[in-house]
Amino acid sequence: MYKFEPQRIRLGISACLLGEKVRFDGGHKRSVYCNNELAPYFEFVPVCPEVGIGLGAPRPSIRQVLDGDILRVQNAKGDIDVTEKLQQYCEQKVATLDFLSGYILCAKSPTCGMERVTVYKAGTNNGSKTGIGVLAATLHQQWPQLPIEEEGRLHDLVLRENFFTRVYAHHDWHTLKLSGLSRHKLTEFHARYKYLLLAHCPKLYRELGPMLADSSKPLAEVAEHYFIKFMEALGHKASRNNHTSALQHIQGYFKKSLNKKQKAELSQAIMDYRNGLKPLLVPLTLINHYLQEFPSPYIAQQVYLNPHPQELKLRYAY
């Protein structure tokens, strides 16, 4: 297996999104966002399952076909069937991708589509958008905590921010594991993510703490269960109310430091955000400013304040 490198964040990606001419028609689906906006911050690992099993470009298009209860992958005529070959390739390829921190897929593809892939009834051109690509399904099965998104869905600012929040958190966790797990490190990790977890899912945040406090179970078991719940919590989209609650908790750490005017300014910024009058960046900018003036080590270490590089401009969704 590939040894994870803490300072390199690698994303799997459908090769056609990088402009590689691997599609059935000999073309590509180059993503401007991935190539122009994301490329400076990530190292892409391109994969095309169809080329991976030896199909050329151009080539006859393949599709998912439901024959009774059996799902096949074949061309429209049904005389080319790559079901077993494709499944074997995907299982073997995905098993080598344990170093990834996320994956960006091409939509609608019978191999890479994350959802709503057309599944045809055998012998007809009648289909329903109920399928999932073979590679996408294998990724979910082998690496269920891996952040996965379709490129088109990343144009939704909320989905985009949530995806990359999970990517950086996933990377952070594996960096921690490489450094050597201990109960103290797990507790510190949880403490750093307190307010980010509260913004995403307060219920699961409250479940995570007691998990770490259970010393009756082996450390590796505790860590595995914690990570599953941790990524599940971040999978919930942060809400305006939960963000407001997290901001107000952080505000409490400044009650002895700020003067009356500063307290009022921060309170108003938080309320304006809650009421949809100002973006999340306004109270966050104030908090980061006050942190410079009135240092608080506990708040300064909170991932919530900077869950991903500002240059990615991901917090404009809130």
Domain boundaries, the chain: 10-155, 162-318
Neighbours of 132 (CB within 10 A): 19
Residue pair 162/238 in contact (Cβ under 8 Å)? The answer is yes
Task: Select from 145, 103, 168 the least CA-distant residue to 232.
Answer: 145
Bridge-based pairing state of the strands 62-67 and 117-121: parallel
Q: b/e map of 107-120 (b: 16 or more CB within 10 Å)?
A: bbbbbbbbeebbbb
Q: State how far the Cα of 89 lies from the Cα of 49, in Å rounded to an integer.
A: 7
Neighbours of 87 (CB within 10 A): 17
In order along its 318 residues, the chain shows pLDDT tens digits of 334 444 579 999 999 999 999 999 999 999 999 999 999 999 999 999 999 999 999 999 999 999 888 999 999 888 899 999 999 999 999 999 999 999 999 999 999 999 999 999 988 889 999 999 999 999 999 999 999 999 999 999 999 999 999 999 999 999 999 999 999 999 999 999 999 999 999 999 999 999 998 888 999 999 999 999 999 999 999 999 999 999 999 999 998 999 999 999 999 999 999 999 999 999 999 999 999 999 999 999 999 999 999 899 998 877
Neighbours of 61 (CB within 10 A): 12
* Whole-prediction pTM: 0.93
Geometric angle at alpha carbon 303, from 191 and 98, rounded to 5°: 90
